Amino acid sequence: LSISLFTVLGLAVLAYVSISSSVIGKESLETIYEKNVVPDNEITNARATFDTILNDLIRVTSEFLPTGQARDRIPKTEQKMNEFFAKALKSDFYTEPSLKKNLNEAYERYTQKIAPNFKKILELYGKDKREDIGDMAVEIEADCRYITQRFENISKFTNQRVKDISVEISGKLDKNL
């Protein structure tokens, strides 16, 4: 009887530890994935999309990319960037002051310096004058680098936060066992 009681008690403790670890694991995955990895992927995609603006200008000037292909990408790039900023500016992910600051700085520079040039870039691609296209690349390069740096800052912060959360989760799981 005491062996059966001891076995039942042992199984109950094991079940508790297992359930507790599962709850911690579920919450941890949600915190890491939904609240950090997904937004970071959106930032990475936005950065890659944004980088095509300057890269296409340079590639067209260097004759590595046809102007028609670059011209066709501008409206899509503009749309994707507008969608990214519209979603990001409403997202709870950016409530942390450092993230909010970097997002707002990127958005401000984008709306003031890059977005107004889309029409001009389209016109330059239509005229296919490589010297003028190169001049545009030089004109917006510093602003593009500034915005890209803001995206990098956000990604670095997020990656560090995921590492910190992972360490915290490992501690909870170790403590639970």
pLDDT higher for 17 or 174? Answer: 174
With bands split at pLDDT 50, 70 and 90, how would you rate the model's confidence at 97? very high
Helices (H), 30-96: 38-61, 67-90
pLDDT higher for 64 or 21? Answer: 64
pLDDT of 101-147, one tens digit each?
999 999 999 999 999 999 999 999 999 989 999 999 999 999 999 99
Is 21 exposed, middle or buried, given 0-12, 13-18 or 19+ CB atoms closer than 10 A? middle
For residue 162, what pLDDT is reported?
74
Residue type, 48: A
Residue type, 120: K
Q: Is 63 left (phi over 0), alpha (psi -120 to 50) or beta?
A: left
Whether residue 164 is predicted with pLDDT greater than 80 in this model: the reply is no
With bands split at pLDDT 50, 70 and 90, how would you rate the model's confidence at 7? confident
For residue 110, what pLDDT is reported?
98
Lowest mean pLDDT among 12-16, 53-57, 107-111, 117-121: 12-16
Q: Is 66 left (phi over 0), alpha (psi -120 to 50) or beta?
A: beta
